[in-house]
């Protein structure tokens, strides 16, 4: 690595950490007219646990949608876009969104490490996960939806469709799986319940047959690093998975998702050739501690192989395009809000991401760096 490259990356990383860890202040972005915002709690420097902080001013997404010339009341596809299939399947994403938003919910079974994510039987052809807003992470469902909408902006097909949905708390209790009925008091205490008796959340497409990829260990992460290092030849058999993991590292950094490499959040299909990018409720914080920022940035800086189409999509990504895409979700269109500082942070990280890729291109050239489609 050249001295100029080392100095450039040192400056790059230092600036990224300074931007991520500095207290939220009025930026040049915020000086513009109000934008859709996310008020995820800030992270304490000592841990990944949210700490209370006063939310910054927010603006209704309906205002953003109106300013952008669209005020949808239901999940809407991107204008002019072709129908998208999810992760190489025959599933049409827009049809999935319609079912997630409106199909009757028949039963709720708590799954995972908490009691506030439910596998839901829908009346129709698919199942869903319902991720409820909780006292600990009230904006988690909005982060899930924002991650899906960002994936659409970038042309990614392996983030499960997610849509805003509210469920009456009485329905949750009545249709809770019988073996979990005794846990209801604990579940109820952790839920955010609105004045009308509904629980806000995200309905997310349930992907059947997911398997652990075995990459969350130190050995697995070392394997990923080797796949993305230009100093180590990449075997043809490893290319499909390596390509998706390269994009995953960059996508997680862009949206501020620090929680990928723990807790079973890195899964793929049975062939171990496809990665599903899921569980993004920790993303889109308005500020991250230095350890969390470094946790995301270090593996990204080590990566030297990238997707040409993803790089182009990130270069083309604009704040307005992202906000318009967010406003196509019914919850955002009706007034759900992300914190403006969180949107600022995304586009600060976008610049850092692009700077790293461009520095790598400058040193090694397009043919060696942009090796994935």
- The per-residue pLDDT for 273 is 85
- The per-residue pLDDT for 204 is 98
Q: What is the pLDDT of residues 11-20, one digit of tens each?
A: 455 555 554 4
Residues 300 and 356 sit within 8 Å (Cβ to Cβ): yes
* Residues whose CB falls within 8 Å of the CB of residue 358, separated by 6 or more in sequence, listed in order: none
Q: Residue 117 pLDDT > 70, yes or no?
A: yes
Q: Residue 35 pLDDT > 80, yes or no?
A: no
Q: What is the pLDDT of residues 326-336, one digit of tens each?
A: 999 999 999 88
Q: Residue 152 pLDDT > 70, yes or no?
A: yes
Structure tokens at 112: 């995972």
Q: What is the mean pLDDT of residues 207-219?
A: 91
When pLDDT is cut at 50, 70 and 90, the band that residue 175 belongs to is very high
- The per-residue pLDDT for 115 is 74
When pLDDT is cut at 50, 70 and 90, the band that residue 74 belongs to is low
State the Cα–Cα distance between residues 121 and 187, nearest whole angstrom.
19
Q: In what order do the strands lie in the sheet with 117-122?
A: 105-110, 117-122, 127-132, 198-205, 162-168
* Residues whose CB falls within 8 Å of the CB of residue 53, separated by 6 or more in sequence, listed in order: 41, 42
Percent of the chain whose predicted confidence (pLDDT) is above 90: 69
Average per-residue pLDDT for the chain: 83
Q: What is the pLDDT of residues 185-201, one digit of tens each?
A: 999 999 999 999 999 99
- The per-residue pLDDT for 293 is 93
When pLDDT is cut at 50, 70 and 90, the band that residue 141 belongs to is very high
When pLDDT is cut at 50, 70 and 90, the band that residue 60 belongs to is very low
Q: Residue 226 pLDDT > 80, yes or no?
A: yes
Give whichever of 27-36, 54-63, 337-346 has the largest mean pLDDT: 337-346
Structure tokens at 105: 């919910």
For domain 93-205, the CATH architecture is 2-Layer Sandwich (3.30)
When pLDDT is cut at 50, 70 and 90, the band that residue 271 belongs to is confident
Closest CA to 278 of 117, 166, 51: 117
Q: Residue 66 pLDDT > 60, yes or no?
A: no
The CB-based long-range contact list for 261-269 (8 Å cut-off, 24+ gap) reads 261/216, 261/221, 262/216, 263/113, 264/212, 264/216, 266/212, 266/213, 266/215, 266/216, 267/210, 267/211, 267/212, 267/213, 268/210, 268/211, 268/213, 268/241, 269/87, 269/209, 269/210, 269/211
- The per-residue pLDDT for 82 is 56
When pLDDT is cut at 50, 70 and 90, the band that residue 337 belongs to is confident
Give whichever of 47-56, 77-86, 95-104, 205-214 has the largest mean pLDDT: 95-104
- The per-residue pLDDT for 312 is 98
Q: Residue 251 pLDDT > 60, yes or no?
A: yes
- The per-residue pLDDT for 19 is 46
Q: What is the pLDDT of residues 291-310, one digit of tens each?
A: 999 999 999 999 999 999 99
- The per-residue pLDDT for 11 is 47
Q: What is the mean pLDDT of residues 245-265?
A: 92
Altogether, the residues listed in the chain come to a count of 373
> CATH 3.30.200 residue ranges in the chain?
93-205
């Amino acid at each position: 690595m050249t001295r100029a490259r080392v100095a450039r990356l040192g400056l790059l990383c230092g600036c990224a950490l300074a931007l991520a860890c500095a207290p939220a202040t009025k930026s040049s972005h915020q000086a513009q007219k109000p934008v859709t915002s996310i008020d995820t709690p800030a992270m304490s420097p000592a841990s990944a646990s949210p700490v209370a902080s006063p939310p910054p001013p927010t603006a209704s997404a309906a205002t953003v949608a109106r300013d952008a010339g669209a005020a949808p009341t239901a999940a809407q596809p991107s204008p002019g876009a072709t129908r998208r299939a999810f992760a190489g399947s025959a599933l049409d994403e827009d049809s999935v969104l319609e079912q997630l938003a409106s199909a009757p919910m028949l039963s709720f079974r708590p799954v995972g490490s908490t009691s506030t994510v439910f596998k839901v039987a829908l009346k129709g052809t698919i199942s869903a996960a319902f991720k409820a807003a909780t006292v600990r992470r009230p904006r988690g469902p909005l982060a899930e939806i924002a991650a899906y909408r960002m994936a659409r902006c970038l042309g990614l097909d392996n983030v499960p469709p997610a849509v805003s949905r509210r469920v009456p708390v009485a329905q949750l209790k009545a249709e809770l799986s019988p073996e979990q009925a005794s846990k209801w008091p604990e579940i109820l205490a952790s839920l955010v319940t609105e004045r009308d008796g509904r629980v806000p959340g995200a309905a997310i497409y349930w992907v059947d047959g997911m398997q652990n990829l075995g990459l969350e260990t130190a050995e697995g992460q070392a394997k990923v690093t080797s796949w993305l290092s230009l100093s180590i030849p990449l075997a043809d058999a490893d290319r499909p998975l390596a390509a998706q993991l390269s994009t995953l590292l960059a996508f997680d950094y862009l949206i501020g998702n620090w929680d990928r490499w723990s807790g079973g959040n890195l899964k793929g299909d049975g062939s171990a050739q496809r990665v599903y990018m899921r569980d993004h409720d920790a993303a889109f914080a308005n500020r991250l501690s230095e350890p969390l920022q470094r946790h995301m940035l270090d593996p990204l800086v080590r990566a030297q192989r990238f997707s040409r189409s993803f790089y182009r999509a990130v270069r083309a990504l604009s704040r307005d395009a992202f906000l318009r895409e967010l406003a196509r979700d019914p919850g955002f269109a009706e007034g759900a809000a992300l914190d403006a500082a969180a949107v600022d942070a995304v586009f600060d990280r976008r610049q850092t991401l692009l700077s790293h890729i461009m520095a790598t291109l400058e040193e090694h050239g397009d043919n060696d760096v942009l090796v994935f489609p």
